[in-house]
Amino acid sequence: MRRAERGGISRRKLETVERTFRKRLDGLVKSVEWVPEYDVGLEELRIELWDGILADESRFDVAWWTRHGYKYHYVEGGESGATDDGSDRLQFRFGWEKRPGVPDKHFHPPDDLDAHRESCVRHEDPKRVTLAVLKCWHTAATAGDPAKLNALADPP
């Protein structure tokens, strides 16, 4: 089986993501940046938050593509005082891609970023996927406990 092409980036879907973050998290959104730029070769939407699960700051790097697929990569800590490779920061990622050998909708848990676990999020529209990701993050952040993410379809 070949890996399926996902097309170019979808600005429309990313705008839905931005709107949903701002509306649901209100003042917690510290900044929003289109990387590297909105009109030329856009790769991701970077949303910085004023709070985190363990750290005081965090960010989501989000991408949605036109044909299928998304990524929500979460990493904690501000730009300053961070290690170069980010290895000691809390990170996780929700992803959807069609490639051989991994579940289409998967979750890379904080304790094993390279693993593709079956994700509890199965929707394919940016609104509901964003709500689901926010629910997982908000629950973990309120408890200060990454285990509360509960993002695996069949938690071990």
Partner 1 sequence: MPTDDDVDAPPSVEDVEPFDADELSGDVPDDLDDAVTAEWTESTTAFERIHAVLKDTTEPRTTGDLADAAATTKPTVRKHVRPLVDAGMVEEDASATATRYVWSSTQRRVDRVADLAADHSPSELDAKLRRTKRRLASLEQTYGVDSPSELVAQLDPDDDAGWEDLSVWRTLEVDLKRLRAAQSMTEYLARSEPGESPRDASRHA
5, 31, 7: which is closest to 18 by C-alpha?
Answer: 31
**143's tokens:** 């408890």
DSSP H or E segment with residue 78 = none
Beta strands 29-35 and 105-108 are unpaired
Task: Give the residue with the Cβ less far from partner 1, 75 or 131.
Answer: 131
Quick check: bond before 110 cis, omega within 30? Answer: no
Q: Which two tokens stand for residue 96?
A: 């959807």
Q: Report how far apart the first and last C-alpha atoms of the chain are (Å, whole number).
A: 28
Show the tokens assigned to 12.
């429309």
| Cα distances (Å, whole numbers) of residue 138 to 25, 52, 133 | 9, 9, 8
Of these, 10, 70, 74, 77, which contacts partner 1 (CB under 8 A)? 10
Contact status: 150 vs partner 1 (CB under 8 A): yes
* Options 20-28, 84-92, 106-114: segment touching partner 1 (CB under 8 A): 20-28
Subset of residues 29 to 58 that bind partner 1, contact rule: CB under 8 A: 30, 37, 39-43, 50-51, 56
Site membership for partner 1, residue 109 (CB under 8 A): no
Among the listed residues 47, 67, 70, 118, the single contact to partner 1 using CB under 8 A? 67
The least distance separating partner 1 from the CB of residue 51, rounded to whole angstroms, comes to: 4
Note the residues at the interface with partner 1 (CB under 8 A). 2-3, 5-10, 12-13, 16, 24-28, 30, 37, 39-43, 50-51, 56, 65-67, 99-100, 120-128, 131-132, 134-136, 138-139, 141-142, 148-151
